[in-house]
Structure formats: structure tokens, C-alpha cells
Chain A
Amino acid sequence: EAGVVQSPRYKIIEKKQPVAFWCNPISGHNTLYWYLQNLGQGPELLIRYENEEAVDDSQLPKDRFSAERLKGVDSTLKIQPAELGDSAVYLCASSLAEGYNEQFFGPGTRLTVL
């Protein structure tokens, strides 16, 4: 069974440019998470989806970040415009359903903003 797929794995952009990350969760997983992992830190939740609904986006900086999961399957996270401080690893995870104990993580997208 395929795991959580993320692309691209690495992205280097100039500040003020837009960038988008894509995530395809494990088939059948209704719950999808985006986490931000700064260097030397643990991941922090950005947004949680139950199917196509964003049920917790309280930690998403909405002035520059947006996300969508239109058909309740794959998801895109966008930053526009990117800032130097956005350099980090962006992780996607999925689980069968809310309350299910195991989340499966993708390999992440490492973003470098110059």
C-alpha cells in the first residue's frame, strides 16, 4: 500500500514568490493534516481536514497561507507571498478518521526561501 505522497520534496524560491505543496494521503484516509516543522523543532499543526472540510485552521497564518482539499482526497498548501521565515519542512499526514490514533506522515517538502 502506498504511503502519504508529497511533492515536491525540495523547493527553493526567492522571497515574495508564491509556492505550493501537494499531498496525496493514504487511500481511504478521511483525515488529513498539514504540519510545519522548523529546524530543530517538533512539527506544529497548521490545518486539519475531515474529508473536504477544514475543521481546524486556527494555526494557519491566513494572510499568506491557504489550503484546499476540494474532493476530500489530495490537498494543496499555498504560500503567497513567501517570506524568509517560511523556510521549513512542510509535512502532510493522514489518518483513517478523526480520533483514530495513528497518523501516517509523508516525507515532507523542504522549503528554502532566499
Chain B
Amino acid sequence: GNSVTQMEGPVTLSEEAFLTINCTYTATGYPSLFWYVQYPGEGLQLLLKATKADDKGSNKGFEATYRKETTSFHLEKGSVQVSDSAVYFCALSDQDSGYALNFGKGTSLLVTP
């Protein structure tokens, strides 16, 4: 079955540091890949997505590239801000699952001034 593995947190960074959160997946078909973010006290929000191999999703300075050869979708940001502190979830969906999202466990990010 499908599964998503992402790096364990918490991740603590200083403001303006470079961020990478690793995500790898297992899927039988050709999934779409997503990063969702959950800010404290708020619901899950879609951060970015990629629907096919080599696509790059980007939003708010975050980027992730769909790498089929390494089955990865790592999240990166060049310079994090305190306001980026949140929990980040990698997820996939495909036709086999009826497009329901299959999430990783989440990675908590804390950015300090």
C-alpha cells in the first residue's frame, strides 16, 4: 500500500537559516504529492503540491520537487522566519485511494529569533 515517511522532529532553527524537511514515499501508482502546514491553533492548509515527476511546487518561499527516481518530495526554504513555526505534513494521493490523502507523521518546526 501507499505510505509516506518524513523526518522526525522537532526541528529548531534560527531565523534566516536554511530549512530542509525530508519526505519519501511508497506508492504503487503515480501519486500526486503535497505539503500541508498546520499553524498553532489552526487547521491544515495546503502549502504546495506537485502532480507529476519533476514538477516543482512552490509557495511562500517554500519549494519541493517531485523526484520519481528517489521517490522523494523534500521541502526546502532558503531563509525561514519565526512565522514559519508550525507542523509540516507530507502527503500523497492517487486514484487507487480515491484521492484520499495519505499523510506522514508530521515534522514540527520551531524558528527562534
Contact surface of A with B, Cβ cutoff 8 Å? 3-4, 31, 33, 35, 40-45, 48, 55-56, 91, 93, 95, 98-108
Contact = CB atoms under 8 A, between A and B. Distances in A.
Chain B contact-residue range equals 20 to 34
Interface string B69-113: 000000000000000000001010101011111111110000000
Interface of B: 4, 32, 36, 42-46, 49, 51, 89, 91, 93, 95, 97-106
Contact of B43 (A45, A56, A108): A108
B99 A98 contact: yes
Given A102-B49, A105-B45, A108-B43, A48 B98 contact: yes
A44 B36 CA distance: 14
A42 B100 contact: no
Contacts of B49: 101-102
30 contacts: A4-B43, A33-B100, A35-B101, A40-B105, A40-B106, A41-B106, A42-B89, A42-B104, A43-B103, A45-B97, A45-B100, A45-B102, A48-B98, A48-B100, A56-B98, A56-B100, A91-B43, A99-B95, A99-B99, A101-B49, A101-B51, A101-B93, A102-B46, A103-B46, A103-B101, A104-B46, A105-B43, A105-B44, A107-B42, A108-B43
